[in-house]
Amino acid sequence: MKEEKLYLINKLFKSKTIRTIWSKENEKYYVSVIDVISTLIELSYQESRNYWKVLKFRLKKEGNETVTNCNQLKLKAKDGKYRMTDVVDIEGMFRIIESIPSKNAEPIKQWLAKLGSERIDEIFNPSLAAQRSIDLYRTKGYDEVWISKRIKGIQDRKRLTDVWQEGGITKEIEFAILTNEIYKEWSGMTASEYKEFKGLRKESLRDNMNDIEVALADFGEMTTRDIAKNEHPKGLKENINIAKRGGKVAKKIKELYEEETNNKVITKDNNIDYKYID
């Protein structure tokens, strides 16, 4: 397998060196601000630092949240030593690019404008978004049967979250907690632990499951949904209990499958054609 590179950043910056670091805790990539500025304006490292000081002051004065959300992490310098460096997530990176007047930034700004236009078109015609998803899956090599099942799974997931909302679940962290309870019951791992087990980062977990894994994940969620529809749980505590019960049903199916086939359901196999190097 080829060594992993953050494809989007390499494509945008034409393979120039943009130091990135993955935060397992936040499940985000962070990008060196100085490297972005240096590449776009073609300045030396020190000149880029000075430029960033001025730009940071201006952005802060304008109330731009990019500065507020700017962190410092240790990145490897040219001399091989690790030093604290200003970093932002991918969204922050684009905000900074938009603030830099440079001919090198124009292609990226045009690309962002095109994305924005496409998203507005999708508001008026949602089928465009569905077709875009299908096309992306096709380019990744998934067959039509798999794609149909995946889209059906997304619909089923939405039906589950709708039921949770009816039970008073509104926060993203609460949805994550309930999802983890289902996963823990049938797989023994939270969703993030499952992704790490398969060697994933930003990639979708279900896009990298085999058909049995996907079926069990779907069945655990559908069972949770149907129990909740019957019993109408309210609040996080009651919904956690339902989520565990849904996950246990999927676990029983998993155990029966493994007993009859002598095959392990959960594997480290994934569908990515690269590997991550820390």
Position 25 scores a pLDDT of 82
Position 40 scores a pLDDT of 86
pLDDT (tens digit per residue) in 221-245: 999 999 999 999 999 999 999 999 9
User: What is the DSSP-derived secondary structure letter of residue 265?
Assistant: S
pTM above 0.95, yes or no: no
Domain extent listing, the chain: 2-121, 143-275
Q: What is the 3-state secondary structure of 166-212?
A: HCCCCCHHHHHHHHHHHHHHHHCCCHHHHHHHCCCCCCCCHHHCCHH
Q: Is the pLDDT score of 206 beyond 90?
A: yes
Q: What angle do CA 13, 19, 21 make, to 5 degrees?
A: 125
pLDDT (tens digit per residue) in 241-273: 999 999 999 999 999 999 999 999 999 999 988
* pLDDT band, residue 19 (cuts 50/70/90): confident
* pLDDT band, residue 169 (cuts 50/70/90): very high
CB 84 within 8 A of CB 77: no
Percentage of residues in the chain having pLDDT higher than 70 = 94
The three-state secondary structure class of 13 is coil
CB 208 within 8 A of CB 200: yes
Position 107 scores a pLDDT of 83
State the maximum Cα–Cα separation within the chain, in Å, rounded to a whole number. 67
Position 5 scores a pLDDT of 42
